[in-house]
Amino acid sequence: MRYSGWKVVLEGLRGNRGWKPAWRDPAPKAHYDAVIIGGGGHGLSTAYYLAKNHGMTNIAVLEKGYLGGGNVGRNTTIVRANYFLPGNSEFYSHSLKLWEGLEADLNYNVMHSQRGLINLFHSDGQRDAFARRGNAMINQGDDAVLLDQDGVRELLPYLDFEQTRFPVYGGLLHPRGGTARHDAVAWGYARGADRRGVDLIQNCEVTGIDIEGGKVRGVQTTRGVIRADKVAIITAGRSGQVAAMAGMRLPVESHILQAFVTEGLKPVIDHVISFGMGHFYISQSDKGGLVFGGDLDFYTSYAQRGNLPMVEHVMEAGMTLMPMIGRAKVLRSWGGVMDMTPDGSPIIDKTHIDGLFLDCGWNYGGFKAVPASGWCMAHLMATNESHEVARRFRLNRFATGHLLDEEGTGSQHNLH
């Protein structure tokens, strides 16, 4: 079924009785050309682009829970391309371009809103660093505007500019940055993949990966054995456990990252604001809730909930930056399981096992990467070659020293 404004009007007049499920609920087949473990944003977009760009339609996505029930359903929805390092810059630039055409491509409203993202800076040194970053973004073909304090004041008059700890010197505006509706991205890709013949199999947990003679043969699941010529592990925070089924240890630690949303308010914050020095960032959802988050709790966890010290820290940072939000009531908080790599950059690569591919290590930046991650992973699985914008996301880069340390803090597990 194709969605359109006319269809909405027509169904409204007919009591909305004509809507059909957006995707099928097929039983797993005995054999697929490729199986994707993980029905989150990255897995679904990989399936979609395998079908659309490479004509591979005899494929399945295996999801142990329900589609989009992990991090793509529990994040702060920010979409941006403001990276500095070669290797990251071209990848996120590619992703943002895909975002800009996503709704037309998927025929699905993902509510992509390019409301502008502002990274605040608080010293001369930080201004220089952001000027360099902005130049790198412009060189990449994206947009960046360096704002002085008056420039920020014009856009965000409600900030506390004179706070003594981190006075606001200015900000780097990324006009094409913004937000999107997190669930809709998963659902849009799921529907798109399903319409091209991909089997989306839910409540199907992979319990083993079959390998014979250094080549992958398929997977064991709670719904039986599935043979496959190619298998992709796209399981975010759970990558370590799934890779262990193939006898692999990954350069990944799973950490908890908390986020928060307030009750719905009238429009008050028109942009995405990032206050890096306070580990705080915020935007306002279309429903009116203030959506904000901070830094990792900084210990490994799969609990999908954090502890109170980081809650307090985030609230303090928010109050420091914009005291006006102090009267807003927090509605709920949640935690996502982040697959953290030592250098803070992701992995899209083959493994030493023929036919087994890996897409993980998205740290706390996986949402904006969903389109390009799927695009590049599909390219890798179909052609056995890394896509040109993802060629530095190698699994062995920690051993070879070809690091992608965007924050410049070092390559060590407790630093990102």
Partner 1 sequence: MRLTCPLCGPRDRREFTYYGAGDYLSRPDPGAPAEAWDNYLHLRDNPAGPTRDLWYHDQGCAAWLLVSRNTITHEITGVELVADRKGGRDEA
Asked whether position 412 contacts partner 1 by CB under 8 A, the answer is yes
Query: Of these, 57, 113, 220, 307, which contacts partner 1 (CB under 8 A)?
Result: 307
User: Measured from the CB atom, is 185 or 250 closer to partner 1?
Assistant: 250
Asked whether position 301 contacts partner 1 by CB under 8 A, the answer is yes
209-232 core/surface letters (b: 16 or more CB in 10 A; e: else): bbbeeeebbbbebeeeebebbbbb
Query: Cα(397)–Cα(395) distance, rounded to whole angstroms?
Result: 6
Q: How many residues lie near partner 1 (CB under 8 A)?
A: 24
**Closest C-alpha among 310, 242, 248 to residue 40:** 242
**C-beta of 305: minimal distance to partner 1 in Å?**
8
**Closest C-alpha among 90, 172, 97 to residue 130:** 172
Q: Which two tokens stand for residue 92?
A: 């996120």
Give, as ranges, the residues between 373 and 402 that touch partner 1 (CB under 8 A): 398-399
Give the count of beta carbons closer than 10 Å to the beta carbon of residue 249.
Answer: 8
Query: Cα(416)–Cα(401) distance, rounded to whole angstroms?
Result: 17
Asked whether position 334 contacts partner 1 by CB under 8 A, the answer is no
Query: Of these, 149, 163, 300, 333, which contacts partner 1 (CB under 8 A)?
Result: 300
Query: Cα(364)–Cα(213) distance, rounded to whole angstroms?
Result: 36
The number of angstroms, rounded, from the C-alpha of 275 to the middle of its chain's C-alpha atoms is: 20
Give, as ranges, the residues between 103 and 162 that touch partner 1 (CB under 8 A): none
Query: Cα(17)–Cα(12) distance, rounded to whole angstroms?
Result: 9
Asked whether position 278 contacts partner 1 by CB under 8 A, the answer is no
Taking CB under 8 A as the rule, which mask of x and - marks residues 234-273 in contact with partner 1? ----x-xx--x----xxxxxx-------------------
**Closest C-alpha among 117, 114, 110 to residue 181:** 110
* Number of residues in the chain: 416
Query: Of these, 18, 65, 167, 309, which contacts partner 1 (CB under 8 A)?
Result: 309
**C-beta of 237: minimal distance to partner 1 in Å?**
9
| Options 59-67, 148-156, 298-306, 350-358: segment touching partner 1 (CB under 8 A) | 298-306
Asked whether position 19 contacts partner 1 by CB under 8 A, the answer is no
Query: Cα(54)–Cα(129) distance, rounded to whole angstroms?
Result: 40
**C-beta of 160: minimal distance to partner 1 in Å?**
25
Query: Cα(232)–Cα(359) distance, rounded to whole angstroms?
Result: 7
Site residues (vs partner 1, CB under 8 A): 238, 240-241, 244, 249-254, 298-303, 307, 309, 342, 398-399, 412-414
